[in-house]
Structure 1
């Protein structure tokens, strides 16, 4: 006999089951074939639109199984590749060495790793570092991506601190950095082999960057890719709309090959249809000239005709380079955010005048800016304590096309008055 809920229209069933927890949904789906069919769409969208995987064999095997499912595979739109940090791998090795499952309480467990997967997961670190062509990672990941016909976003993340260093990833820790670089290249290789057309690729968690942010902070050398690989990447990134990179420029000191700084702009240039670009450079280094070199290469060579949003974090840049970058994209740029940045030469006052004269922005945010010129630290609107270190102008809230230029003029006048006052006081 058909139950009352089975006689309800699909739309009403969807409204009911969307409020049920996972266990109740599973129980309901087991009640009958009709209910299983009625709740399949909402169940799939809720629990299969985003998949999370490590690059370990057990996790990739489950991912391949999902990609082979007739219905679930088409629901996946976001794939999170989560790398364990160096401490996690140390904990897994200790558990594997003891060989007691579940492990004794004195051992630190890694929450996202199942007990039965410990041995294979802890071997991933050494495997990625010792194999130039890690087929055990690339092939299953490519197979899974090929099955996820509607995947649009891939996020590569690791527990770390984006702007201000990482307690588990130090500049001297070449073991983990080589592992991260190998994982990054393996993921790109899988994307190329699968033929998937992504719209977003990110190394950063969330829409905005905070000091405590779980992101994959890649060493600059990971982006120094050979020319044939870059050509293949250009095809794979042909539909990419959003690219977000977090990069460490100070690793390995002065031991660098000529042209090392060109890897970052070459990867960016592979995505010629980008509308959103985020570049985050580690701000905890003692050698900011490496960040200057990367930004110079980006500003001189990157040309993205469809770029609408540009976000720069932790950058050290010359005024002429920054002005050149924004002028190159003046016809399309609408959203600009610059944070924790320093002008090595020039002054932010001149940069702001360029923004006012040459850009037609609808959103501008400047925060925690410094310069070598006077004043060293930029303060906005000194009579407003809340706005000392941050300037935000959002013309969308006002719906007035002149609001941006009026607010910019106000900020320029305030900053000019501050500079003049400091110069007089020094005399």
Structure 2
């Protein structure tokens, strides 16, 4: 049972935070582990178009395939002699210049069909097929690390699949509604005091609410990044986070919609960096989507569901300033099933390597724990960049 003194202290710390409610915009989940390193996973739900995020401007077939959707390299940030960054990612480009961002192109999970729900399930659970595994790879990562007072906290109406599993998870979702009165919260606490299931959950919810403090209840990407960074920056805060972003399914009017999505992602990353402060230098952020989009534009000013995509690693802990790509090409014979960017890098391997290097874990054990069903990509008949070739992603820990 939570004491009245403990209850009042939580209420005082969170009076302006508001009650939990459904998030309309990005939502995120957090987990506490005993480390000064932070690890953040940002999922782009809807299949983000990697070919227009990290643009292969030197690829001869790119402009012809994309037509009016092709990004004008004159407005983009050239990363090297082959790739450029979408012009909406201005602050991300600054992170790249500061060697705090890197990109892995032509990357994919083992999933090879084009269902959002199935693709996201494979991305979050780390299986070979949809619904093959019941828990998520991010939850399994939590179990590999020393246990703290609270193992995980989800800032979402429901816990994302990547964080479901054996490690305990509570949830919190900021709301724009007026906050509940202290008297009401105290009455609920008394009501749940002797309930073996609801009592502990309510106490954890009040703890999360107190940690949020006077954070803004706004749900735009920058506010979400600021709130997440505030939690992660605390000495007693979580060390693992998941942030959900939606709206990446650009079947029509792609140029304007993708630019708006990327502007939001850019603002989220910048706000996360600023809120983390000095802890940013201990932070690794992985940004990934369930699959990419078709190499060619469709007839409605957009692109359809594809395969190969691009993943980002961002953060002060990242050994950035690089684009990693075993480029497959975009000529008709190069495309997967004649329509998609062919994957040449394993997203499973990228995630496992980044997580292992962030927390100083054995890379093979980490890969086996997070992605136990993965078999080096050989089953697809594809030459994927694997774990051993994705080392050196994260810099040495600061001392």
Measured against the shorter chain, the TM-score band is under 0.3
Which has a greater percent of helix? 1
Q: TM-score scaled to structure 2, two decimals?
A: 0.28
Structure with greater contact order relative to length (CA < 8 Å, sep ≥ 6): 2
Q: TM-score scaled to structure 1, two decimals?
A: 0.27
